[in-house]
Chain A
Amino acid sequence: MVVVLAVVVIGGLVLLVRRNRGGTRTGRGGPEGAGPGFPDRPLGGRRVSPALMSRGRIEVCGLRKEYRGVRAVDDLSFTVEPGRVTGFLGPNGAGKTTTLRMLLDLVEPTAGTATIGGVRYADLDQPIRRVGAVLEAGAAHRDRTGRNHLRVVCQSAGIPLARADEVLELVGLGVAANRTFRGYSLGMRQRLGVAAALLGDPQVLILDEPANGLDPEGIRWMRDLLRTLAMQGRTILVSSHLLGEMEQLADDLVIIAAGRLAAQGTVASVIGSMTYLSRTLVRTPELEKLAAVLGRDAVVTLAGDGDAYITGADAVAIGDAALRAGVVIHQLVTQLPDLEAAFLELTAGKAAIR
């Protein structure tokens, strides 16, 4: 009798707990942008001193990770400088998340090193005061309120619990502090993740797809926040699929494909390295005559309204040829590739490896 009753009580409890965990959203999510009810507090603070900035340099050297014989990351090396926003790009399965997790000591590298200020993450004194990380938007207990989620982190790290309220206000979640995580929209979850990363006022921020699920206003908020943090001298490493957004946000880029480095440098230098992708828009009433005097490498594509795109010859060569042939040119514009074109070219054929 006792056994039967006990099994019923315990079974009921386990079912209740599982049902609570697996529940659907309650629709209490509210606005997810920085709209009404989500006041954005401007960041205060001052710049990081040069001495501290040097402690914020991320160095990845010969990093490799193998999973059952498959190389998820393969001999990857790059550096991320303080005071700049560095975009970390790559197709799905390129190894971005694995790399970030190796940087944070969550995944053990098969070979190579990943350090922050020359020190492995695991060896940092008070790591949360040096590095803040946003890994997954869904990384909180569904039954716990946003405030309590942050307080647990504060308690673990020895940070005053009042700091949780400060960062909640900072990310515009003050009004939703006492809602359970279950009721948060994806955008609010991203903000909570950012709040957790800022708890220790870190020099280095590592963010894995932080803009996922954010509405346009939320994306702008994230961009402004990261730019401000970088201007204060912090190191910002952010992975994203949103190439247009990254082109606006990032100072530097690290592009990987199939676990290997495809390109690294400033946004301008990475795109600039793809000049063979640039084309020239020409408007002329004598297109046939112009085409005839261009070299054999030039390819002319009609664009309508008398316009044509020319590749294989730059604007200088086209202008010189037109002058020599007496061809009238009404418009001559060089069009550089955008980040999307450069990214697709750099990672072409490598996205489907995994």
Chain B
Amino acid sequence: MTALLDSAALDQAGDTGTTLVRLIRAEFMKIRTTDTGWLFLTGFIVFTAIALTINGFGHHYQLYPQHGLVSPAQAVAQAAQARTPAGVAAMAASMMTSGQRIAVMFALLLGVLVVTSEFANQTAAVTFVTVPRRATVIMAKVAAAACCGALFWLVATVLAAVATPLFLYSQHVSTSLAGWMVARSVLLNLLAFVAWGVFGLGLGAVLRSQLVAVIAAIAVYAGSFGTELIFTALYNVFHQGWMLGAPVIGPAVASEVMTTSGPAFPYAPPGWVGGVIIIGYTVALVAGGIALTKRRDVI
């Protein structure tokens, strides 16, 4: 089309990717061009460093129990257990996923902000006027939130991959980080980060209000762990066996069941059940978010 405002730029080719690809790039640009994304990344690096340090101290005391805290017999048994091949592999896996339980909340909250900041800053109208295909806009945000989750995972994994061998060496134990147990934990950790990033995005798309969505995200995450208490209490009354495994319906518990190599809690269902549940919640929230975004007026 002829440029009516004497534009040299419009005569050049712009981003010729599909609408979805263009929108995904735009979402990254949005994250990159505000302080929020950088603050989260900085906070995440600081948190991971702290988590690695604390986790390292914890494992140190597993290998070298303090006699004042446990009996000598217990100390010997604990140290022996920690030094078995399985024990060392579990220690390496734990170090490689240090702070995971809390770290995924960074992905969760950034996912929330990716969509709710559009409404908090009144840029939703600009976004939807630029591209009226709202489902595509949300899908681009899903992709951006998933990539942010993966980026958090990458940062955590790189930091852990540097710190873990140093830690194991300093403790005079050796194991391969390429072992299946470690690799499995690291890959499931990636899945958890991506799932929580998208979970946050779906929650934000459904709720729209930034404050409400941030509070809801923290409440859903922290509150999930309360399901264990609730179902234990219910089991004590009704004595139904399935109630002991039921806490897995809490999203954060499901995520933990998915990423834990052994049972996350007594009578926990297999890891894949946790994976199906957390992915199920995520898909449902995104689907709900898209449906509501398409239907709602932007005012």
Interface residues of A (CB under 8 A from B): 1-3, 5-7, 9-10, 12-14, 16-17, 20-21, 43-46, 48, 98, 101, 104-108, 121-122, 124, 127-129, 133, 135-136, 138-145, 148, 151-163, 165-166, 170, 196, 198, 201, 232, 234
Interface membership of B170, Cβ < 8 A: no
Interface membership of B73, Cβ < 8 A: no
Flag if B35 contacts A127 (CB, 8 Å). no
5 additional contacts, CB 8 Å, given A5-B51, A140-B126, A170-B5? A21-B121, A44-B5, A105-B129, A107-B297, A161-B9
Interface residues of B (CB under 8 A from A): 1-10, 12-17, 19, 22-23, 25-26, 29-30, 33-36, 39-40, 43, 46-47, 50-51, 54-55, 99, 101-103, 105-106, 109, 113, 117, 120-123, 125-133, 214, 295, 297-299
Query: Shortest Cβ distance from A210 into chain B, in angstroms?
Result: 15
Which of A16, A124, A153 lies in contact with B39, CB distance below 8 A? A16
Give the residues in chain B near A43, CB-CB below 8 Å.
5-6
Which of B4, B13, B106 lies in contact with A48, CB distance below 8 A? B4
Flag if A201 contacts B47 (CB, 8 Å). no
Docked Cα-Cα span, A284 to B191, in Å, equals: 92
Flag if B29 contacts A5 (CB, 8 Å). no
Query: Shortest Cβ distance from A179 into chain B, in angstroms?
Result: 13
Give the residues in chain B near A141, CB-CB below 8 Å.
30, 33-34, 117, 121, 123
Docked Cα-Cα span, A128 to B22, in Å, equals: 14
Docked Cα-Cα span, A3 to B18, in Å, equals: 43
Which of B6, B13, B105 lies in contact with A44, CB distance below 8 A? B6
Query: Shortest Cβ distance from A59 into chain B, in angstroms?
Result: 18
Give the residues in chain B near A46, CB-CB below 8 Å.
2, 4
Give the residues in chain A near B46, CB-CB below 8 Å.
9
Task: Say whether, besides A2-B99, A6-B99, A46-B4, A152 and B214 are in contact (CB < 8 Å).
Answer: no
Docked Cα-Cα span, A16 to B128, in Å, equals: 28
Query: Shortest Cβ distance from A125 into chain B, in angstroms?
Result: 11
Task: Say whether, besides A128-B130, A156-B23, A160-B10, A143 and B3 are in contact (CB < 8 Å).
Answer: no
Flag if B130 contacts A156 (CB, 8 Å). yes
Docked Cα-Cα span, A152 to B113, in Å, equals: 17
Flag if A2 contacts B26 (CB, 8 Å). no
Docked Cα-Cα span, A101 to B51, in Å, equals: 49
